[in-house]
């Protein structure tokens, strides 16, 4: 068991700890690889063209976070506290943005508000490219994440508190401020930190609609891909890592406090019908749902239009990817390959790793260290991770250098990028199992791997499916981590969207984006059917 743990720990060291160290080291070196102390950092901070992007990043991030918090709050409130109809449809619609790489909504925004956008007058002459576009795109991109967190924290409320408040004669307003808000304060804080981290580290939206408005994420890309200044790239990456890591740590602290908030005796809240309120909420959700779907529909529409905006007749020519830059159809199939490998190996590594951390006895220092290591990837923005991989795996003296520019390195990087969330779902599922299973099997002289196969894996199969689907969808949509790591043999669909958009081919970019959306949606559907199938077959014991 210790040997197995050592293998997983080694994987995490190679996939996250060593590359991050290589990145840190690089930021203190000059182009010749000599140690030059803080010189790079000083240059960075004293070059206004570079350091401005710190302020820019914080401005758009805080603004977009604030806006998305309000929009998502009301949406989640409508779903939990009103009696409006079609709640499950609205829940589904809110999750649509998850299926898109963040480049795609940004491209959609260009067709709406860009120089040739159909409703660009709605911006009253203001320019889409810049902070306005970034904020709009980011709000769309992080909406499902923020909304989900709020939904969960709102559904964790105790009806008894509301009854007590009502019996004591408190007004609706007072109840809202004394019961509703306090009970979800951790959820709100958590939602904010998640929004903050996702936005400040997002690369897709500012890349497409950022224009001349530089933010940290686009700076890393520009320094490395545009100017081949790896040292400065490393410095900007460090500047991006710090706020992301802080937000992550703050979020963990807050979440730890939330655990004991709701007692087991709490009674879930059931909303009572109220015609006016329910109608208002329905209108609101329709509006937001309409916006979300129109962004998707615009992306789909623009991908089948002859020549926007002059010839609006329909065509499939933009799906002829082989005629365009970006790697053609093979990048789509590469993406599928990446997603499949990531889902298979990622799920295996993550679940087994979580099992070892959660269920083994003794060797406490080792387990604590591994638990900490599992949390690191969440704090590391994709761009930073990708760049760190360049430095680590491309180093001439690294014996693992043969992985560079191959499919395996993309798989390793993607698994690592999404390791923490998967790890946490696995841990949650494992925690729900009786802690004495391992003790019992030891007393029955069963080796641990036997109980793992015969009991742990079957019981956790729904969670295992969830993890593999999460990894698959994210491997399809991610751009940031892999953008530094693909080679001409391993071009990816999401990167193709980026490159085609860069080359001005917005319609083909949208077309490739739609391929990703359809694949992700298809996999979600498959996952739903599979879960149902597994539940009826291997989870028969759940029924009484």
Residue of the chain from 126, 439, 518, 526 that contacts another protein (CB under 8 A): 439
Closest to another protein by CB, 529 vs 540, is 540
CA-to-CA dists, residue 432 to 197, 254, 426, 469, angstroms: 29, 22, 10, 21
Question: Within positions 158 to 187, which residues make up the interface with another protein, using CB under 8 A?
Answer: none
For 158, which DSSP code? Answer: B
531 binding another protein? (CB under 8 A): no
CA-wise closest residue to 296 among 69, 510, 520, 524: 510
535 binding another protein? (CB under 8 A): no
Closest to another protein by CB, 35 vs 541, is 541
Question: Within positions 339 to 378, which residues make up the interface with another protein, using CB under 8 A?
Answer: 361-362
Shortest distance (Å) from residue 431 CB to another protein: 14
Q: Which segments of 315-351 are extended strands (E)?
A: none
Helices within 114-203 (DSSP H only):
131-155, 159-167, 172-175, 181-183, 185-201
Number of residues that bind another protein (CB under 8 A): 27
Closest to another protein by CB, 459 vs 515, is 459
Question: Within positions 441 to 460, which residues make up the interface with another protein, using CB under 8 A?
Answer: 441-447, 450-451, 454-455, 458-459
Shortest distance (Å) from residue 436 CB to another protein: 4
Q: State the sign of the Cα–Cα–Cα–Cα dihedral 512, 517, 518, 523.
A: positive
CA-wise closest residue to 251 among 453, 2, 65: 65
Closest to another protein by CB, 211 vs 462, is 462
**Bridge pairing between strands 305-307 and 311-314:** antiparallel
Contact code string over 389-428 relative to another protein, x by CB under 8 A: ----------------------------------------
How many CB atoms lie under 10 A from the CB of residue 431? 11
Closest to another protein by CB, 39 vs 539, is 539
Shortest distance (Å) from residue 447 CB to another protein: 8
CA-wise closest residue to 54 among 67, 63, 65, 45: 45
Stretch of 2-10, 40-48, 435-443, 482-490 contacting another protein, by CB under 8 A: 435-443
CA distance 292 to 496: 24
Closest to another protein by CB, 164 vs 440, is 440
Stretch of 137-145, 167-175, 510-518, 533-541 contacting another protein, by CB under 8 A: 533-541
Residue of the chain from 265, 275, 537, 543 that contacts another protein (CB under 8 A): 543
Q: 215 phi and psi, to 5 degrees?
A: -125, 170
- Say whether the peptide bond before residue 424 is cis (omega within 30 degrees of 0): no
Shortest distance (Å) from residue 542 CB to another protein: 7
CA-to-CA dists, residue 223 to 21, 64, 129, 343, 394, angstroms: 20, 25, 20, 32, 18
CA-to-CA dists, residue 543 to 243, 433, 434, 515, 538, angstroms: 47, 17, 18, 39, 11
Closest to another protein by CB, 168 vs 540, is 540
437 binding another protein? (CB under 8 A): yes
Residue ranges in contact with another protein by CB under 8 A: 361-362, 434, 436-437, 439-447, 450-451, 454-455, 458-459, 538-544
């Amino acid at each position: 068991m210790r040997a197995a743990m050592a293998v997983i720990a080694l994987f995490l060291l190679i996939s996250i700890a060593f590359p991050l160290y290589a990145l840190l080291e690089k930021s203190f070196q000059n182009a010749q690889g000599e140690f030059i102390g803080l010189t790079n950092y000083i240059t960075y901070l004293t070059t206004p063209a570079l350091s401005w992007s710190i302020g820019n990043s914080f401005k758009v991030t805080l603004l977009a976070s604030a806006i998305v918090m309000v929009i998502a709050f009301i949406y989640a409130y409508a779903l939990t506290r009103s009696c409006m109809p079609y709640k499950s449809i609205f829940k589904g619609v809110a999750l649509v943005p998850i299926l898109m790489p963040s480049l795609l909504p940004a491209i959609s925004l260009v067709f709406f508000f860009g120089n040739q956008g159909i409703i660009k007058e709605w911006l009253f002459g203001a320019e889409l490219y810049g902070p306005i576009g970034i904020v709009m795109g980011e709000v769309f991109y992080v909406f499902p994440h923020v909304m989900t967190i709020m939904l969960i924290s709102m559904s964790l409320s105790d009806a008894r508190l509301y009854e007590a408040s009502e019996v004591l004669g408190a007004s609706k307003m007072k109840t809202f401020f004394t019961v509703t808000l306090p009970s979800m304060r951790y959820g709100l804080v958590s939602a904010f930190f998640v929004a903050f981290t996702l936005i400040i580290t997002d690369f897709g939206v500012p890349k497409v609609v950022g224009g001349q408005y530089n933010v940290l994420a686009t700076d890393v890309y520009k320094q490395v891909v545009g100017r081949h200044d790896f040292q400065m790239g490393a410095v900007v990456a460090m500047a991006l890592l710090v706020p992301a890591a802080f937000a992550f740590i703050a979020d963990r602290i807050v979440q730890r406090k939330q655990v004991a908030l709701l007692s087991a005796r709490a009674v879930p809240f059931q909303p009572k019908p109220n015609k006016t309120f329910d109608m208002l909420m329905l209108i609101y959700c329709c509006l937001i749902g309409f916006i979300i779907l129109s962004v998707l529909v615009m992306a789909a529409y623009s991908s089948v239009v002859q020549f926007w905006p002059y010839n609006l007749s329909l065509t499939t020519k933009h799906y002829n990817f082989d005629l365009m830059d970006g790697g053609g159809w093979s990048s789509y199939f590469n993406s599928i390959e990446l997603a499949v490998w990531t889902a298979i190996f990622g799920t295996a590594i993550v679940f087994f790793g979580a099992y070892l951390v959660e269920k083994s006895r003794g060797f406490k220092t080792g387990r604590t260290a591994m638990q900490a290591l599992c949390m690191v990837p969440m704090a590391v923005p994709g761009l930073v991770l990708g760049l760190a991989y360049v430095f680590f795996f491309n180093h001439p003296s690294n014996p693992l250098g043969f992985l560079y520019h191959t499919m395996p390195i993309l798989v390793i990087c993607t698994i690592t990028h999404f390791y923490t969330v998967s790890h946490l779902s696995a841990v949650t599922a494992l925690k729900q199992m009786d802690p004495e299973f391992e003790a019992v099997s030891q007393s029955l002289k069963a080796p641990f791997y036997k109980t793992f196969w015969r009991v742990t894996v079957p019981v956790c199969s729904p969670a295992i499916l969830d993890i593999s689907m999460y990894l698959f969808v994210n491997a399809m949509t991610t751009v940031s981590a892999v953008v530094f790591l693909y080679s001409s043999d391993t071009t990816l669909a999401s990167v193709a969207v980026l490159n085609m958009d860069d080359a001005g081919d917005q319609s083909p970019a949208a077309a490739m984006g739609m391929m990703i959306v359809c694949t992700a949606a298809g996999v979600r559907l498959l996952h739903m059917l599979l879960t149902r199938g597994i539940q009826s077959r291997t989870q028969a014991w759940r029924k009484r």
